[in-house]
Structures are given as structure tokens and as C-alpha cells.
Chains A and B, each alone.
Chain A
Amino acid sequence: MKKIFGIVCILLCTFTTVGGAYLKETVASADTQSVVVYKYGSSGAKVKQIQTLLKNQGFYFSSVDGIYGTLTVNAVKKYQRTYGLTVDGIVGSKTASYMGISLGSSSSNSSFGSSDLYLLAKVVYAEARGEPYSGKVAVAAVVLNRVRSSSFPNTISGVVYQPYAFTAVDDGQINLSPDASAKSAAQDAINGWDPTGGCIYYYNPRTATSKWIRSRPVVTTIGNHTFCL
């Protein structure tokens, strides 16, 4: 009996691996279709709309600035408590429907005027989401330094999508949605912050296998990344 169970297990495993490849695509497309939630760190016109609504109904007393900070979180919590919703301070589809506002899809609600800035934030998130903040700014700065360098393409998208240039672009992690920290790191770099002093390469010394990259002059190490010229 045990043997049969074992065989069935192996069979099931085969099914899931074969089926997995197809499933993945379905799940990924479902992700991009999902509705947006507004929470701490969000910003933009929709946040202004939420703040205005909360203010009109007497839940929010600060200025309508389009930035979802602590005061907005508290106001949303108060609103949710009053209407018997889950009190989490996040405006998801349920809270939004109570408020009578539509959240729309993720693509139409980007608070970025510039698509370059958003692309840069995606690279930062994909490549450096576990790094200290200055390590995130540093990754964004390397992209911009490459744009300025004569040895690389001359646009942000050219640099980002150059084959083999960034691991997280090659393996598809670039398509994850960036968080607030990645976005502000990208903003810092666009505004001129560069913790690397002009570096155009970086690598993780624990995983990098290329001898060539290890021969570059090292400028600094931030978190898990070594930055070089």
C-alpha cells in the first residue's frame, strides 16, 4: 500500500511540474489585473480624493496633500471602525466601495509623471529590495551613470533592457511592482544623489562568478553590493 502511495506521489509531482509552467502564466496575468489598494506610502490624485472624502465626512482634519501618511491611516481606521469594516487603515476594494470611489487598475493609477522614473524604480525594487536605502539609491545611480557614460546606451530603457546587464531584468523580476522605498530611491538618484561616486558596475561578491567584473577598481561596498568603475 505504501508503495502505491509513493508512486501516486511521484505522479502528482510530475503533474504539478508540468502543469506549473502553464499555471504560472495564468497567475501572473491575474496579478496584473488585481485592483489597487491605497495604504501608507501611497500618493497621488486618488489619495487626494480619499482625503477630501474623509475630510468632508469629518474623519480627517489635516491638509489634502495626496500623501498617505500616518494621519491619513488614522482617519481611514476611524472611518472603517464607524462603518464596521476590517480596521487596517488600508483603502482596498471594500473600503473604497463604502466610500463610493473607484480604485481602477494598477496601470492607470501611476503617480509618476515620467515613465523613466517608474522604470528606474522597478529596477531598484527588482535588484535591491533587500538592501539598505543608500544601496537602493546606488543601484539607481549606476543606471543613470551608464546613461551618461559613452560605453553604454544613451537612454534609461536602453541601459535597463540591455541583455545580461541586470540579472533581475533577465529573470523577469523587473516586472514586480516597486514599493515606496524603491520609488523614492529612484527619485533621489534622478535628483542627483549618487552614493557610488560615479560607478557604472556593481556585483554581489558572494555570488558573482565573472573574473572580469572582479578586476574593476572597487569604489565602495553598500549592503551586499560592491560598486566599481
Chain B
Amino acid sequence: MTPDNIYNEMVYHHHDRSRCVKRNTFVIVTVLLSVALLLTSVGWLATTQDNEGYRNRLENMYLESYHDLLDGVNDIEISLDKLSISTTHAYQVDTLEEIHLKASMLVSSLSRLSVYDQTTSNTTKYLNQVGDYAYYLATRLTRDGDTLTPSEKSSLSSLGEVSTSIGMALREYRDSVQAGEYLLDYSTGGGYADAFDTVDSSIDYPTLIYDGPFSDSRQNKTPLGIVGDVISSEDGLSIATTLLPSRYREELSYRGEMHTLYDSYLYTTPTGDVSVNLTTTGQLISMDIPYEEGSKDLSTRDCVAIASSYLEEIGYKSMREVWCSIYYGTAYINYVYESDGVLIYPDMVKVKVSTSTGEVIGVECISYIFSHTSRDIPRATLDEEEILLSIPDMQNVSSRLCIVPDDDDEVLCYEVYGEIDEYKYFIYYDASTGMEINILKVIDSEDGELLL
């Protein structure tokens, strides 16, 4: 073999080897790719089938709510029509209670539909008001023993017209629905979701003023406790700093005005952790400072003493502690205004005290700001003894006079406290009729403590 041949042989061998490697690589890549493709397809298929199943089950839940709504709106419409011709007390009360129940069920059906909350908010408001108004009327009829007045009937029938148009729009959709159409696809509007626009545009139903939580008067009530002249934000700042421990005073600054049912100034530290909110007349709405760990371990009694002297200092006189609960090293103490030995529950102020530092870390006066005013407290026409005769068999019974909120009104009550089988109850009896206004059961007795 010549040197030339040897060279050729080597080149040949080299080419042969590299071709071999190339072929192997090609095989490996092909196999890997096929395996990957196979796994991906299997995975994709499984996921698609799963998704299909999930989607159908979800859609069925939406459809259930949709049909509940359709039927329910129809029922309410019919009940409202019946009321307009009914003339007897018992039938009217029954029907009103039916409407109340139906409406609250429909509110939850509506809230389960797959649409943005702002789409349904007017319809929700309508249903809540129908139910609430029906409940108010049923209570009034039961109490007064009479029948619906012409003006109540006319309010009810204009509410009925709204039900008619919602129902019509929902039915129209049902009749036009195509195969493969999903309620899920109308989250931002269109399709059946347009039915909820009818409450916005087509009908203007009357403003409802009555004693109920969703009454239009309740949603726009004015704070009675705001008194005095509007002060400047700078004057507010100097009031705000006096409410805080000295270490935060320097850092506190004016953040701006807040406009809600009342106008207020907001003061915070740069991080926003410390905040004071005052009415523009300089009255405290709320104060908060961060919780810090300390070495103390204060009892309820210690915390109440700290909170009481703080309230006294910032100008809240005649406040009486009624309840204390401790969570995560924070004592929440509720105070109510006391006038002539009567507890005024609507005028409530809440104070937070850290059990480990003994510092007041929060105050909240919203209820007080809304309801505190000079009241003529009526005299109780029933004696305490008379009330105590009618109470159930309880241990450790005690009682006192108080004013409690009752819808838009306030009622003078005997607050009777007692224990049955380790459970603690508060029963509120109307001090002039002896009727039970409310019964409270203390649920988590481990966390809260009654301050009598």
C-alpha cells in the first residue's frame, strides 16, 4: 500500500464513522420526537376530555341558576299581581312572605351566574328591595292587623312591572339559544346577560322608603353625630397627632380629603401603617397604629383600664365597656354611651389594645358618628319584675335598661342576660310592650368576655 492509499483509507474510515454518528443521531432524534409527540397528544387528549367535562358541568350549574331565576322572576311577578286584587289580611301576609323568601333565593341564584358583578348589580338591588319591602309589609300587616293600603299596592304593582320585563328578556334568550352556545361566553354582556340591562334602562321604579336594611333611605342616611364647624386640614393635623403615641407624631402628615356619606380628612405616616381619619369638623372616625410585640401579658381588666382612660383623655365621657374579646394579642373592647343609667347601643366606640405592649392601637367611632345625638329617653312602662317573670328558666340572670337599634328606629329595652346549659344568652324585651326584640347567643365564649 502506497502512502497515498493509506491516506485514502484513513479518509474513507473517517467519513464512514461520521456518517455512522449522523445516522445514529437522526434515529435518536426521530425516536425522541415521536415519543414526545405521542405523550403530548395523549396529554392533550386527556386534558381536552377533562376540560370538556368540566366545562359542561360548570355550564349546567349556570343553567340551573338561569332557570331558577327565570322561574322565580315569573313567580314574583304573579304573586305581585295577585296582591293587587287581594283584599284579605291573611292572604296578603302569606303572599308577601312568599315573595320575601323567593327574592332572597333569587339573589343567590343571580350571584352565581357567570357575569361581571356590575352587570347584575341593578337587578340584585331590585330583588333585594322587593324581598325586603315585602318583608317589611308582612311585618306591618301582622303588627297592625290590617290590609295593604292603595299606595302600598301601587308600589307593589310598579315593582311587578320590573319583574315582567326581566322575565321577558330572560325568556327571549331561552327561545333564541343556539346549540353550542354557553352562558359562560357572556361574562361581559350580550346574550342572556342583556336581560339585566332592562332594570337600568326601560323602567324607572319608585324610590322605596320604608323601615328595612335595603330601604333607599337607609342607604343614604346622614350622620347625626357630626357637629361643629369645618376646620382646616392643618388644625385637623394637630388634633390627629394628639391621638397617637409620641413616636409617630413627627411622621404624620395630611393625605387628602375623603368624600363618602360624610367628609373627612386622612392623615398617615409615609408607609401608611399609621393612620388617623377625622371628620372635617375634627371628630375622630378611626385611628390605627401597627401591632408590635412586647414583653407584657395583660389581662382583660388591664386592657379595659387602659382603653377607658384613653377614651376619657380624648374627650369621650360617659362611655361604658360592654364587651371584650382577645385575638392574636389584641384586645377588642366595645364601649357604648351611657345616659341616665341607660346604655345607648347605637352610640358605640371600639378600642383595640395590644396585650403585649399595653398601648391603644386602634379606635373606631363610625357608629357613634352616625347615631350620637341628644335623645329624649322614654320611660319604661313595664317594670323589671314583670319582664323577669316571663323569661325562660336561666341561671345567673341580670338585667339592665338599654336602647337598641331596630331598623331605622331605636327601642328602649330590658337587656336580660342569663345562662342555660353553659350557653350564654342576651334577650332584649321592648320595655313598653314586653315583646322580644332580639335574642343573642354568645357563640365563642372562649374568645370573648362580657363586661357587666
User: Quick check: B117 and A114 within 8 Å, CB to CB?
Assistant: no
CA distance A19 to B39 in the complex (A): 9
Which of A29-37, A81-89, A122-130, A188-196 lies on the face that meets chain B?
A188-196
Known: A132-B272, A133-B288, A135-B272. A18 touches B39 (CB 8 A): yes
Do A71 and B295 have beta carbons less than 8 Å apart? yes
**Stretch from B73-81, B245-253, B256-264, B427-435 contacting the other chain:** B256-264
CA distance A80 to B180 in the complex (A): 63
Q: For the complex, is B217 an interface residue (Cβ under 8 Å from A)? A: no
| Contact of A153 with B258 in the complex, beta carbons under 8 Å | no
A41 touches B258 (CB 8 A): no
B contact residues around A134 at 8 Å (CB): 268, 272-273, 275, 288
The interface on chain B, measured as residues whose beta carbon lies within 8 A of the other chain's beta carbons, has a size of 76
User: For residues 99 through 152 of chain B, which have their beta carbon under 8 Å from a beta carbon of chain A?
Assistant: 104, 107-108, 110-118, 121-122, 124-125, 128-129, 132
Chain B residues within 8 Å of A71, by CB: 295, 297
Q: Report whether A163 and B297 are in contact in the complex, using a CB–CB cutoff of 8 Å.
A: no
Is A52 interfacial (CB 8 A cutoff)?
no
What distance in Å separates the Cβ of A55 from its nearest Cβ neighbour in chain B? 13
Residue of B nearest to A70 (CB): B293
A-B contact count (CB 8 A): 167
Q: With CB as the reference atom, state the residue of chain A lying closest to B123.
A: A151
Task: Kindly state the separation between the CA atoms of A114 and B285 in the bound complex, as whole angstroms.
Answer: 27
CA of A115 to CA of B399 in the docked complex: distance in angstroms?
31
CB of A113 within 8 A of CB of B273, answer no
Contact B104 A154 (CB under 8 A): yes
Are B47 and A197 within 8 A (Cβ)? Answer: no
A162 to B112 CA separation, bound complex (whole angstroms): 6
Across-interface contacts of B277 in A (CB, < 8 A): 195, 197
Asked if B125 and A43 sit within 8 Å, CB to CB, the answer is no
User: How many residues does chain A have at the interface if contact means C-beta atoms less than 8 Å apart?
Assistant: 62
Q: Which of A8-16, A90-98, A99-107 lies on the face that meets chain B?
A: A8-16
C-alpha spacing A6/B17, complex, angstroms: 23
* Residues of chain B contacted by A161 (CB below 8 angstroms): 112
**Chain A: CB-nearest residue to B129:** A150
By the criterion CB–CB under 8 Å, are A194 and B366 in contact? yes
Q: Which residues of B contact A213 (CB under 8 A)?
A: 118
CB A146 to nearest CB in B, in angstroms, measures: 9
B329 within 8 A of A: yes
Q: What are 14 A-B pairs at a CB distance below 8 A?
A: A22-B43, A43-B328, A69-B293, A132-B271, A132-B272, A134-B288, A150-B129, A153-B124, A187-B328, A193-B288, A197-B262, A197-B285, A212-B118, A223-B272
Those 8 A-B pairs whose CB atoms lie nearest each other, nearest first: A113-B444, A197-B260, A150-B214, A153-B111, A151-B121, A150-B128, A132-B272, A151-B125
- Taking Cβ atoms with an 8 Å cutoff, the residues of A that contact B are 4, 7-8, 11, 14-15, 18-19, 21-22, 41, 43, 62-63, 65, 67, 69-71, 113-114, 132-135, 137, 148-155, 158-159, 161-165, 180, 183-184, 187-188, 191-195, 197-199, 212-213, 217, 219-220, 222-223, 229
Given contact pairs A154-B104, A193-B350, A195-B288, a sample of 4 additional A-B residue pairs in the complex whose CB atoms are under 8 Å apart: A151-B122, A152-B117, A162-B112, A192-B366
